Amino acid sequence: MQREYKKQGFFRFTPSDSEGGGARELWCLKPGEGGINTICRVLEVSLRELTMKDGKRIEILEGVIADYTAKMPFFSWVADQEELKQDRVIQIGNAYVRRWSGLVTLYIGRNTELREKNIYFPAYDELNKPQRRDIGDIIRCQGAFDVIVEGDIVGVAGDKVLVDDGTGALFMVLNGDKDSSVKRLSLSFSFGTPVIARGNVMLRGGEYILMASELKIKDDKDVLEELMGFMARYT
């Protein structure tokens, strides 16, 4: 279950897609899109061996890229890409977007162009942090990778809880072992409990699910810190 609706508030900043011939931002690339041109920093990259349906084994590269709007997993069919090195800023031309294990993923094919860029770009440590996203935006963009979601518990269904942040709602599943602190925390959930969760939002069984790797109940201290941050930005 998920839904999207407009949030009322004092401010609502929503990034816009860079359409046309310019570089696209990562935050709302959707499965099925092609001809993607973007500039990003490589956060993670590793070599992996895949076995194809015909039994043939091939080597591919997989990892994570980021720009100032979002982090995103990538998959490269070409394993010897010199440009795909950790912490490099690269320009990617003619890539396409698909789902990999339920996650929106940027695919780098044999016709994709890669070029290292020597330009000012946000630093590795800054880009490696998760970004806060509204649920409504996540649903509209068909998923998200390593994000922070804040909302209230408005329902429970088995091992899933329904989280609503005022812009939309989606189910959340808690990762971790049965005895983990995340699982134990879930026992204290009740209707209206405010929570902050970090994880990936993927499509499973026709529903968008937040797979939470970190979770905490939001308290008065969190509200005060948000208010102080707001005042610091706008006063």
pLDDT in tens, 90-148: 999 999 999 998 999 999 999 999 999 999 999 999 999 999 999 999 999 999 999 99
pTM surpassing 0.75?
Answer: yes
CATH number listed for the domain at residues 26-126: 2.40.50.140
Alpha helices by DSSP H, 172-212: 181-186
Q: Residue 97: beta bridge partners?
A: 106
pLDDT at 177 over 70: no
| φ and ψ of 113, to 5 deg | -100, 135
Domain ranges (residues) in the chain: 26-126, 131-234
When the pLDDT of each residue in the chain is averaged and rounded to a whole number, the result is 83
Q: Percent of the chain beyond pLDDT 70?
A: 78
Q: Which of 1-15, 51-65, 99-113, 160-174 has the lowest mean pLDDT?
A: 1-15
Of 93 and 158, which is predicted with more confidence?
93
Class of domain 131-234: mainly beta
Tokens of 208: 């968008």
Distant-in-sequence, close-in-space partners of 193: CB < 8 Å, separation ≥ 6: 152, 153, 217
3-state helix, strand, coil in the chain (%, to 5): 15, 45, 40
